Amino acid sequence: MEVGAEPSVARLPTGLAEFDRVLGISPDGTAGIVPGSVLLVGGEPGVGKSTLLLQAAGAWARRGARVLYVSSEESAEQIRLRAERLELGLPPELFLLAETNLQRIAEQARKIRPRVLLVDSVQMIFAPSVDGSPGSVSQMRRCGSELVMLAKSTSMSVVLVGHVTKDGQLAGPRLLEHLVDAVIYFEGERMHAARLVRAVKNRFGATLELGIFEMTGHGLRERSSVPEVGQGEACPGSVICPVIHGSRCLLAEIQALTATGFLGAAKRKSSGLDANRLAMIIAVLEQHAGLRLADRDIFAQVVGGMRVVEPASDLALLLAVAGAERRKSLESGVCAIGEVGLSGRLGGVTQMEQRLMEAARLGFGRVLVPPIVLPQRTKGVEPLVVRSVQEAMEHLG
């Protein structure tokens, strides 16, 4: 096999398309986990890692792949109750085990010979031959490397769950990142139902892919867009923008708020957006749109916990800030795409057709676009060409 080449073995899909795509897509279009690979799933406690992986385990098993789900944090009874709540129907190929001893986990795995072994969580298991309590550096290293060896020697896929906190505390799983083939993070805010799955490292796939789920009373449901986005009336300080994540397009809602601040000490805070980009947009608004923002506190964020780094989202951010300041909004059903240059001119965006189609699909029939050659096919959507920041500002009510 060439270095870096895809292994020829078929991937194992769960059938949860939002998860499979993040695991990786082969050139032939099949998505899912690669046999013999090791995946680390990180996320804050309570975000839904166990729920996602038990659902994935159930889905693999229903498709006939034998799965061993080991919980080191819950009793067999608790796992069964969760499986019931998730309506997994306990397929015969799904094996559940409550165990913290690495040796016994490996023994069971060798006996049962599953295609996928899930260990939830790696912080709560221990190798009896190693000093230190579960979760310690020495335990994590040993358990991690033994499970990697198990995967490589049996071509069983291994999925490890690791807890992380917002500030990267409990650095445990970080320790394992270099050992494993793929690292995906499961993100979400407690107050939002949206849960995002994102690859941060993937030897067998793209790291830009994003999977979207919604937490419901019966586990996670797949979503094709972030549930909170684009609901309700247009309002000042909120602008929708179609952004590209990996192989797909999603609508992002960018919000801004301006408030009285102190000259020389005005706050500029952003969440889910690049802070440098926000600073540049503010400067462009001052220079090319006549806004005076030097003593204004400015806050900007992306709704629903998404992160948006594409320059194509510049125009939406600019209109959100300007709209917040002027208390004006775009008409409802209008969204915006475009990169903003320092000259105040609007520029190039790739994959325009995909963006226009997604906007149309979610009810945004008119789209502010930069002056570029537009795709032939723009059915159901009317592009509104804007050349400069000033022209774009005219669309604020």
**Where along the sequence are the contacts to ligand TYD (CB under 6 A)?**
43, 45-51, 82, 85-86, 215, 217-219
Beta strands in 54-209 (DSSP E): 67-71, 94-98, 116-120, 157-163, 182-187, 194-202
Q: Which is nearer to ligand TYD, 25 or 161 (CB)?
A: 161
- Among ligand TYD, Mg ion, none, partner that 48 touches (CB below 5 to 8 angstroms by kind): ligand TYD
Smallest gap from residue 192 Cβ to ligand TYD (A): 12
| CA neighbours closer than 13 Å in the CB half-sphere of residue 76 | 8
- Among Mg ion, ligand TYD, none, partner that 43 touches (CB below 5 to 8 angstroms by kind): ligand TYD
Q: Which is nearer to ligand TYD, 68 or 257 (CB)?
A: 68
Q: Which is nearer to Mg ion, 14 or 50 (CB)?
A: 50
Smallest gap from residue 181 Cβ to ligand TYD (A): 21
Applying CB under 5 A, does 50 fall inside the site for Mg ion? Answer: yes
Beta strands in the chain (DSSP E): 38-43, 67-71, 94-98, 116-120, 157-163, 182-187, 194-202, 210-216, 219-222, 238-245, 248-260, 268-271, 296-302, 334-336, 339-340, 346-347, 366-369, 382-385
Residue pair 313/279 in contact (Cβ under 8 Å)? The answer is: no
Q: Which is nearer to ligand TYD, 104 or 221 (CB)?
A: 221
Smallest gap from residue 283 Cβ to Mg ion (A): 45
Smallest gap from residue 154 Cβ to Mg ion (A): 25
Name the residue type at position 370.
Answer: P
Residue pair 41/186 in contact (Cβ under 8 Å)? The answer is: yes
What separation in angstroms does the CA of 215 have from each of 31, 118, 212, 261?
Answer: 23, 21, 10, 38
Q: Which is nearer to ligand TYD, 71 or 388 (CB)?
A: 71
What 3-state class would DSSP assign to 126?
Answer: strand
Smallest gap from residue 62 Cβ to Mg ion (A): 21
Q: Which is nearer to ligand TYD, 82 or 355 (CB)?
A: 82
- Among Mg ion, ligand TYD, none, partner that 355 touches (CB below 5 to 8 angstroms by kind): none
Rounded CA separation 306/297 (Å):
23
Q: Which is nearer to ligand TYD, 22 or 215 (CB)?
A: 215
> Count of CB atoms within 10 A of residue 191's CB?
6
Applying CB under 5 A, does 123 fall inside the site for Mg ion? Answer: no
Smallest gap from residue 392 Cβ to Mg ion (A): 46
- Among ligand TYD, Mg ion, none, partner that 115 touches (CB below 5 to 8 angstroms by kind): none
- Among ligand TYD, Mg ion, none, partner that 219 touches (CB below 5 to 8 angstroms by kind): ligand TYD
In degrees, rounded to 5, the angle at the alpha carbon of residue 10 between the alpha carbons of residues 7 and 15 is: 130
**Closest alpha carbon to 59 in 214, 219, 210, 180:** 219
Smallest gap from residue 289 Cβ to Mg ion (A): 48
| CA neighbours closer than 13 Å in the CB half-sphere of residue 217 | 0
Count of residues engaged in binding Mg ion, rule: CB under 5 A: 1
Applying CB under 5 A, does 139 fall inside the site for Mg ion? Answer: no
Smallest gap from residue 70 Cβ to Mg ion (A): 12
Residue pair 180/33 in contact (Cβ under 8 Å)? The answer is: no
**Of 44-52, 216-224, 241-249, 345-353, which segment contacts Mg ion by CB under 5 A?**
44-52
Residue pair 169/176 in contact (Cβ under 8 Å)? The answer is: no
Residues that bind Mg ion in the complex, under the rule CB under 5 A? 50
